[in-house]
Amino acid sequence: MPYLNSDLYEQNIPLFKVWIRKEFTNGLEDTYKGEFVHAIVCGVRTEPDKCLAFHVVFTGYEADDGVTPNVHGGACWAKMPIISMVGDIPLDDWPERMPTHLVQPWDCSSYYHSVTSYSRLKPSPWLCKIGSDWYKGRYHFTVDYAQSTVSEDPAQHKQSHVITLTEGRYKGNIVAIPNNRCRVTSPAYWITGEGRPDFKPNNHSFCAEQDDSYTNPEVTFNNLYSKEEDANPKKR
């Protein structure tokens, strides 16, 4: 399981292109607000109590007009926060920057993480609850956490689904939301529900070796190689 960083190949992060709010490359100076530079996302970084950060390589695509000098192409940046990124999708206008607590309602819970792109969940739009409103989005991948007190607690564990919003006020922004703030659509496999699911968090852990039967070797080692199996072969 990766510690701190996952790259494009090691952890199956799908290649996706973004626009970076330029003020995040210049100490958040107001001078650069409203400007964007193009980049490719190459990896993700998780630190406890912080939002997701990404490793990006700038493409210089914004200078593709043949007039603007290409000074950014090939430059790298580590720890680019998710709140700085806008998906490379058709946009009428640049979206407003979202508050961090809406982009990623729960911070990363561990340095240790995995990255999975769930193919069955990828083709169809996701429905994302942002504040009190719902937005459609395009799913990229999921970050899951482990080996920390919070991530191993069944009542507190949360994943981060990385999604580009594709409609509404925040169209273009990239978010990282847990299961209880989204629904997945897939009309070929299920009917998307409405309203509040009658679920409650599961606060229990399940472990086979906590059972009292493990104090009895005859039960524990009752397997294919037990003496009883030799004496009484049975077909099932």
Q: Tens digit of pLDDT for each residue in 162-212?
A: 999 999 999 999 999 999 999 999 999 999 999 999 998 888 888 888 899
- Please report the sign of the dihedral spanned by the C-alpha atoms of residue 180, residue 185, residue 191, residue 192: positive
Q: Output the CA angle 113-119-123, nearest 5 degrees.
A: 125
Amino acid at 39: A
Report yes or no on 137 lying in a domain: yes
Report yes or no on 38 lying in a domain: yes
Does 220 score more than 90 pLDDT?
no
Q: In total, how many domains does the chain have?
A: 1
pLDDT band at 63 (very low <50, low <70, confident <90, very high): confident
CA 38, chain centre distance (Å):
21
Summarize pLDDT for 98-157 with one digit per residue, the tens. Answer: 999 999 999 999 999 999 999 889 889 999 999 999 999 999 999 999 999 999 998 899
- Residue 25, pLDDT score: 96
Report yes or no on 236 lying in a domain: no
Report yes or no on 155 lying in a domain: yes
Report yes or no on 229 lying in a domain: no
d(CA 178, CA 71): 37
Give the domain extent around 182.
5-193+205-219
Q: Across all residues in the chain, what is the average pLDDT?
A: 90
d(CA 44, CA 25): 17
Report yes or no on 210 lying in a domain: yes
pTM above 0.85, yes or no: yes
Amino acid at 202: N
Report yes or no on 146 lying in a domain: yes
- Residue 34, pLDDT score: 94
Report yes or no on 92 lying in a domain: yes
